[in-house]
Amino acid sequence: MRSIKQPGAPVPERIQWVEARGRAFSFRLEAGLPLLEAARRGFAAEGFASGVLNFGGAALGPFAYVMPALSKTGENAAFYSDTFRPSGVTRTKLASMTLGMRDGAPFFHCHGLWTEADGKASGGHMLPDETVVAEPFEVEAFGIDGAMFAAEPDPETNFKLFGPVAAASTGARTTSSAFALRLRPNQDFAGCLEGFCRAHGIARAKIHGGVGSTIGARFTHGGGTEPFATELAITAGAIAPGPSGGLEAALDVALIDYTGGIAEGCLVRGDNPVLMTMELVLEVLG
């Protein structure tokens, strides 16, 4: 399987996880608010301080983002491009977001694909402090209680990355058991989730959110992405028994690579290793 050498030593625990309770809900983001504040308010209104969300068509402007890029210093296995700030209103095709805390304040990690005002199709990593909601839009969210995504230094990748940590209950209404996860580098995405579910007695689970990166990509439709550094969003995902009875993860994703190549599809099980990180929430269905 493909692998990329990281600057730091791998830690033994390859999945960072916290068990929690959660609930799915939807809400409307209001125009004129920074995307971060609009998301924070939506979660807070339901009693949550952290969670994940997905959305389709949205209008954002002002808007700022970075794309994956090669590392110029060698201090990281890959890095970010310079910041892009397209003029006018950018319209998203899809996006996935993790909402949590960084340096004591709300923060998000959000990847997506979009079309800029001049018609350019692009994607990448939205910048929380420079992205504003231009028109109201709806999102599908999943809040977690008893866990929170928090940005902490990660010696393996030499980045400050979101990962789940235990958190005091906020008393939010919840409907299901859930696990907040962060998958570490150089392990197959689907296999990692399948192994986690087997280890925790989970027969069926739905993925909510999903933000991270893979080492290129291999899709079930036969296509692939060769450039190794990607920014990826999960568009739909589930783990359930396959035809043979064993657990199988179905992972529909969208990504952009460091050359600007865009790809969408269902990932091949066993051939899509994590590059830097993968954050998501598993809702336990059985």
CA atoms within 13 A on the CB side of 81: 22
- What are the pLDDT digits (tens) for 60-93? 999 999 999 999 999 999 999 999 999 999 999 9
Could you tell me which residues come within 8 angstroms of residue 171 by beta carbon, excluding any fewer than 6 positions away? 47, 145
What type of residue is 147? A
Residues 38-50, mean pLDDT to the nearest whole number: 98
CATH of segment(s) 21-143: 3.30.1330.80
Distance CA 54, CA 27 (A): 11
Q: What is the pLDDT of residue 30?
A: 96
Residue % of the chain over a pLDDT of 90: 99
Distance CA 147, CA 276 (A): 22
- What are the pLDDT digits (tens) for 115-150? 999 999 999 999 999 999 999 999 999 999 999 999
3-state secondary structure of 40: helix
3-state secondary structure of 263: strand
pLDDT band of residue 229 (cuts 50, 70, 90) is: very high
Q: Does an H or E element contain 239, and which? A: strand 224-241
CATH of segment(s) 176-284: 3.30.1330.80
- What are the pLDDT digits (tens) for 14-23? 999 999 999 9
Of 21, 28, 20, 22, nearest to 45 (Cα)?
Answer: 28
Topology alike, domains 21-143 and 176-284: yes
Q: What is the pLDDT of residue 261?
A: 98
- What are the pLDDT digits (tens) for 244-254? 999 999 999 99
Distance CA 159, CA 75 (A): 9
Of 248, 234, 256, nearest to 98 (Cα)?
Answer: 234
pLDDT band of residue 256 (cuts 50, 70, 90) is: very high
* In the chain, where the domains are located: 21-143, 176-284
